[in-house]
């Protein structure tokens, strides 16, 4: 039996896992707060330190991380997270600084922020970045707010529509709605790219701008990019670059040079900061010169060698408590310094080489809908020879049995059986060859042993889950769980 | 060669041969020549690990670590050493969103435990898996209120943290919602003024407790007042304080939100922290963000999955409740381990020790006759005073002694011109508190 306990189930009344100093001023009593106090104690665990450590160690074994094995999750850029970055984020003074400290005592912190934003600007071909946005989706929202503010600043109040290709990540349309603008979705052409005629048909003086991922979510470079940005600019709109796939472009193309005015970068993808099970990430937003004054407050400015905090009048406002996920930013800067200009040039090329090698070696057994070279990720549309109608889901689950994480599946939505594989540049030829062998073996199993695939995974801590039950029963807490057990359903 | 790129010359040649091309550049054939980068980035050359460490140490040395005696949304609580040991485990640190539950039960299980703890601390029914921080959680809570009530106006208590107010205003302004500020009286929400502001446009009210000044507000009758007007009651605030203070649930709030930084997270120059958001079960489908639920696997084993995903951006796209996707998960683990190790007793003890330390400092400051309490309200670990001393003088004198405290609120609002902030946690020793006092006593 694998470890199967909740922390609450290790609890015994009176047991403790902490030690705190003795009271220094016992004459004061919190009970003087009387009716401001809660009437019952919070239901929290009462466990020893060892029990706590052992519990979380045991449940950690149920996770697959980048250091466990290959993690080809498309669109997520699961590259190696260097150890030096972790060390730096913990050992120096940065974790112990309060952002309201006198400016003279935080010069190093302000300088790191300023140097990182400047490095990102140079890598992107833009003028300036804010690092205050907490994540990719947050960056999108902030970028769209800047787009809207720009038009309003120019008294162009009609521009309220944002063009988004149907292949875009779901956050693009969702962020547009939150920014108070409307989405105009345009269909992709049969090559999965922006259809120029469809684009021309929606351009008008109501267009605030267009959001684009390039390479797009099919892993394909939009070769008409110059024409796209020209058309949108001519119509008075701004171009927003969704940096989700920036990894492929490192060392090869700068978004600013493609004609983009605003972009966000996912530091947790391209700049190697750990994904942390889903955060904390960081989503800096960069803009061209004419939009700098709209960047959110607070901003960090430099005068000679002195750094200071400034709030700008034309800014969109404040979008975070302080300066974003600062320690994540610090890790990304450590990565940029470590690689330097020489090695940054190789990130895109090596990630693209790895993806195309996989593309070539799997196309015999997996349906390849797009014939051009891919960029940093390759999308297949399910198995090629598939007499037993094995689904992409089954292939993905079987991969877990072989000790690898599954690729992204059923996205992009343009194909029915999408398998999106992103190897990143940090994987060796041996690892990639092993993945290819395994994928081809699974394709063979699909013909000879389909039931094993349908029931996979068989070696993981749990097997496939009942998601309908979860949505129906809505058991979100230990309290709900105990009530459910009590009901005996 | 570079340590993060395993590509040898032979590897590259072999791969190119398989692809039937002669250089990696050919893979970029689709990129128009005009946009191809033809030069290196204007950045420094590569550094060895030692050089990176030295360089960033140089930057670090330009900072000064101070003894923290202010709060204002970030509290210098003690971090049990267990937390770093667990949150540094690669299985938690380097994994991503639990899309494949079969190999993500570690993450899903701690999210479930976290949701359980937030539920109990807030006294509401259901918590999501996290928000970016307290300020954005507050903004999203306001959106929820508009969506639930199908109304357009949010009332914001003036006693909230000015940063949270700013963030809420930015979000509301862009989404096309309205807001009005509810005035304060004696440093707390003015309920009389509020009752005059309730009309059929009011989607909800957001308050903060303990408020920006550190004061504990009383919400007797507030829930009824709001609910009679069919408006949503949002209570914002520091999560640690809910270990002892009356819960949003007990106050009749519909939504609770705030920051979990006070669960022993380092100040980190303001981030990362994590926002919490909880509500009553009736409103769960209006909630933004990930939610984890209990289920079973095909063999009947206990299992956890992300659920109710039809609310979210990857399914609903433009019609989603929010654009938020995964965020701050490692801080969910951080919060969960903190609350496990401190547990039922520890969370009370942390609050009690902070209360005692803060009240001692408060009494001693008033005794100097240089500090006055303009509000005369109960407080927990943070308080706000007026002073006859110059704010700059206080700042400089404390700084000369390595202390950050007595923070002037004058930069936030003209109304706060004479106010200064103190916060004292369980970390401050008697010697440290006495040092602060001796510096301030010497000023005139």
User: What angle do helix axes B430-441 and B329-367 make, rounded to 10 degrees?
Assistant: 50
Q: What is the C-alpha separation between B324 and B290, in angstroms, rounded?
A: 9
Same structural domain, B183 and B317: yes
Contact by Cβ (8 Å): A176, A168 = no
User: Does the domain made of A83-339 have the CATH classification 3.30.70.1140?
Assistant: no
Write the burial class of residue A131 (CB in 10 Å: 0-12 exposed, 13-18 middle, 19+ buried): buried
Q: Does the structure show a pLDDT above 90 at B317?
A: no
Contact by Cβ (8 Å): B151, A155 = no
For chain A, give the mean pLDDT. 97
Given an 8 Å threshold on Cβ–Cβ distance, is B298 in contact with A463?
yes
Q: What is the C-alpha separation between A187 and B59, in angstroms, rounded?
A: 49
**H or E element: which one contains A215?**
none
Non-local (6+) Cβ contacts of A23 within 8 A are B352, B353, B356
Contact by Cβ (8 Å): A462, A384 = no
B357 within a domain of the structure (yes/no): yes
Given an 8 Å threshold on Cβ–Cβ distance, is B107 in contact with A277?
yes
Tell me the pLDDT tens digit for each residue of B41-52. 999 999 999 999
Q: What is the C-alpha separation between A471 and B241, in angstroms, rounded?
A: 32
Tell me the pLDDT tens digit for each residue of A4-63. 999 999 999 999 999 999 999 999 999 999 999 999 999 999 999 999 999 999 999 999
- For chain A, which residues make up each domain, given as ranges? 7-60, 83-339, 347-455
Q: What is the pLDDT of residue B320?
A: 85
B2 within a domain of the structure (yes/no): no
Contact by Cβ (8 Å): B205, B223 = no
Q: What is the mean pLDDT of residues A101-116?
A: 98
Q: What is the mean pLDDT of residues A410-418?
A: 92
Same structural domain, B381 and B324: no
Q: Which CATH class is domain A347-455?
A: alpha beta
pLDDT band at A190 (very low <50, low <70, confident <90, very high): confident
Given an 8 Å threshold on Cβ–Cβ distance, is A277 in contact with B89?
no
Tell me phi and psi for residue B355, to 5 degrees. -60, -50
Same structural domain, B73 and B86: no
Which of A18, A140, A411 faces B341 most closely, judged by CB atoms? Answer: A18
Tell me the pLDDT tens digit for each residue of B158-172. 999 999 999 999 999
Nearest CA in chain B to A51: B341
Contact by Cβ (8 Å): B223, A11 = no
Same structural domain, B37 and B87: no
Tell me the pLDDT tens digit for each residue of B375-385. 999 999 999 99
Given an 8 Å threshold on Cβ–Cβ distance, is A64 in contact with B322?
no
Q: Does the structure show a pLDDT above 90 at B267?
A: yes
∠A177-A180-A183 over CA atoms, to 5°? Answer: 45
Tell me the pLDDT tens digit for each residue of A231-289. 999 999 999 999 999 999 999 999 999 999 999 999 999 999 999 999 999 999 999 99
Same structural domain, B242 and B361: no
**Hey, is B405 helix, strand or coil?**
strand
> Is the interface score ipTM higher than 0.95?
yes
Given an 8 Å threshold on Cβ–Cβ distance, is B103 in contact with A62?
yes
Q: What is the C-alpha separation between A122 and A167, in angstroms, rounded?
A: 28
Tell me phi and psi for residue A453, to 5 degrees. -70, -40
Residue that finishes a domain, picked among B337, B355, B388? B337
Q: In what order do the strands lie in the sheet with B419-423?
A: B371-372, B382-387, B419-423, B407-408
Q: What is the pLDDT of residue A1?
A: 52
Same structural domain, B21 and B168: no
Non-local (6+) Cβ contacts of B389 within 8 A are B370, B440, B443, B444
- Which residues are bridge partners to A210 per DSSP? A163, A239
Write the burial class of residue A226 (CB in 10 Å: 0-12 exposed, 13-18 middle, 19+ buried): middle
Range of the domain at B422: 67-77+346-441
Q: What is the pLDDT of residue B439?
A: 97
- Nearest alpha carbon to residue A367 among A393, A385, A354: A385
Q: Does the structure show a pLDDT above 80 at B137?
A: yes
The residue among A3, A42, A77 with the most chain B CBs within 10 A of its CB, best to mutate, is A42
Nearest CA in chain A to B134: A321
pLDDT band at B254 (very low <50, low <70, confident <90, very high): very high
**Chain B partners of A244 at a C-beta cutoff of 8 Å?**
none
B3 within a domain of the structure (yes/no): no
Residue that finishes a domain, picked among B337, B358, B391? B337
Q: What is the pLDDT of residue B287?
A: 96
* Chain A contact present for B86, CB below 8 A: yes
Same structural domain, B188 and B261: yes
Q: What is the mean pLDDT of residues B238-252?
A: 98
Alpha-carbon separation of residue B443 from A15, B358, B369, B395, B417 (angstroms): 47, 21, 12, 11, 19
Q: Which stretches of A171-292 are DSSP H helices? A: 171-178, 196-202, 225-234, 267-270
């Amino acid at each position: 039996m694998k470890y199967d306990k909740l922390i609450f189930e290790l609890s015994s009344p009176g047991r403790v896992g902490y030690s705190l100093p003795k009271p220094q001023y016992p004459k004061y009593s919190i009970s003087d707060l009387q009716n401001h106090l809660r009437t019952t104690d919070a239901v929290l665990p009462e466990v020893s330190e060892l029990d706590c450590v052992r519990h979380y160690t045991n449940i950690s074994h149920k996770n697959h991380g980048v250091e466990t094995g290959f993690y080809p999750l498309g669109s997520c850029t699961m590259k190696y997270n260097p150890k030096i970055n972790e060390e730096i984020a913990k050992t120096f003074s940065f974790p112990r600084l309060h952002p309201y400290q006198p400016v003279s005592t935080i010069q190093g912190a302000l300088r790191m922020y300023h140097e990182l934003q400047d490095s990102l600007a140079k890598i992107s071909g833009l003028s300036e970045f804010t690092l205050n946005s907490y994540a990719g989706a947050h960056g999108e929202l902030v970028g769209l707010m800047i787009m809207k503010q720009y038009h309003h600043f120019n008294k162009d109040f009609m521009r309220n529509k944002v063009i988004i290709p149907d292949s875009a990540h779901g956050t693009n349309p969702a962020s547009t709605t939150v920014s108070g603008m409307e989405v105009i979705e345009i269909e992709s052409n049969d090559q999965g790219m922006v259809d120029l005629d469809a684009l021309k048909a929606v351009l008008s003086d109501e267009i605030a701008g267009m959001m684009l991922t390039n390479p797009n979510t099919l892993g394909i470079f939009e070769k008409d990019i110059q024409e796209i940005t020209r058309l949108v600019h001519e119509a008075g709109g701004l171009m927003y670059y969704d940096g989700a796939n920036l990894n492929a472009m490192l060392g090869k193309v700068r978004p600013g040079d493609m004609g983009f005015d605003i972009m966000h970068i996912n530091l947790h993808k391209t700049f190697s900061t750990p994904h942390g099970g889903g955060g904390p990430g960081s989503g800096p937003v960069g803009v061209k010169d004419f939009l700098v004054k709209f960047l959110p407050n607070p901003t960090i400015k430099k005068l000679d060698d002195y750094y200071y905090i400034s709030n700008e009048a034309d800014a969109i406002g404040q979008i975070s408590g302080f300066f974003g996920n600062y320690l994540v930013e610090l890790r990304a800067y450590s990565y940029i310094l470590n690689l330097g200009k020489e090695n940054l040039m190789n990130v895109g090329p090596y990630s693209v080489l790895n993806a195309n090698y996989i593309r070539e070696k799997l196309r015999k057994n997996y349906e390849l809908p797009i014939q051009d070279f891919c960029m940093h990720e390759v999308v297949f549309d399910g198995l090629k020879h598939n007499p037993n109608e094995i689904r992409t889901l089954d292939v993905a689950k079987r991969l877990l049995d072989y000790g690898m994480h599954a690729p992204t599946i059923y996205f992009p939505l343009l194909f029915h059986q999408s398998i999106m594989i992103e190897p990143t540049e940090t994987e060796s030829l041996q690892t990639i060859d092993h993945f290819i062998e395994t994928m081809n073996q699974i394709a063979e199993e699909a013909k000879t042993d389909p039931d094993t695939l349908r029931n996979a995974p068989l070696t993981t801590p749990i097997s496939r889950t009942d998601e309908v039950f979860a949505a129906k029963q809505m058991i979100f807490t230990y309290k709900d769980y105990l009530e459910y057990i009590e009901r005996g359903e | 060669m570079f340590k993060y790129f395993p590509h040898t010359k032979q590897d590259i040649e072999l791969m190119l041969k398989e692809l039937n091309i002669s250089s990696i550049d050919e893979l970029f054939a689709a990129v128009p020549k005009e946009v191809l980068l033809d030069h290196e980035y204007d950045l420094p050359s590569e550094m060895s690990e030692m050089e990176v460490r030295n360089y960033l140490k140089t930057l670090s040395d330009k900072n000064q670590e101070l003894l923290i005696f202010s709060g204002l949304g970030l509290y210098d609580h003690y971090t049990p050493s267990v937390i770093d040991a667990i949150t540094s485990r690669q299985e938690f640190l380097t994994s991503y969103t639990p899309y494949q539950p079969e190999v993500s039960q570690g993450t899903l299980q701690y999210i479930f435990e976290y949701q359980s703890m937030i539920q109990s601390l807030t006294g509401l029914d259901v918590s999501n898996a996290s928000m970016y921080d307290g300020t954005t959680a507050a903004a999203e809570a306001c959106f929820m209120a508009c969506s639930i009530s199908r109304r357009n106006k949010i009332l914001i208590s003036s006693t909230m943290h000015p940063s949270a107010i700013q963030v809420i205003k930015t979000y509301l302004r862009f989404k096309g919602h309205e807001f009005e500020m509810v005035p304060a009286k004696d440093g707390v929400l003015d309920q009389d003024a509020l009752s005059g502001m309730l009309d059929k446009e009011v989607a909800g009210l957001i308050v903060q407790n303990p408020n920006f000044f550190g004061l504990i507000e009383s919400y007797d009758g507030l829930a009824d007042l709001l609910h009679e007007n069919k408006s949503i009651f949002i209570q914002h605030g520091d999560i640690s304080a809910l270990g002892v203070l009356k819960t949003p649930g007990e106050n009749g709030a519909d939504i609770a939100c705030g920051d979990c930084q006070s669960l022993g997270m380092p100040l980190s120059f303001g981030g990362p922290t994590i926002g919490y958001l909880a509500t009553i079960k009736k409103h769960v489908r209006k909630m933004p963000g990930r939610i984890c639920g209990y289920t079973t696997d095909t063999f009947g084993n206990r299992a956890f999955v992300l659920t109710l995903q039809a609310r979210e951006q990857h399914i609903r796209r433009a019609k989603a409740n929010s654009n938020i996707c995964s965020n701050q998960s490692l801080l969910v683990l951080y919060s969960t381990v903190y609350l496990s190790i401190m547990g039922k007793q520890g969370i009370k003890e942390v609050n009690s020790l902070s209360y005692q330390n803060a009240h001692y400092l408060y009494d001693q400051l008033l005794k100097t006759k240089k500090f006055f309490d303009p509000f005369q309200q109960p407080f927990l670990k943070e308080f706000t005073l007026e002073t006859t001393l110059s704010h700059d003088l206080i700042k400089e004198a404390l700084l000369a002694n390595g202390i950050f405290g007595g923070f002037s609120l004058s930069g936030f609002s003209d109304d706060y011109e004479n106010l200064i902030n103190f916060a004292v946690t369980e970390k401050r020793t008697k010697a440290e508190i006495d040092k602060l006092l001796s510096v301030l006593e010497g000023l005139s």
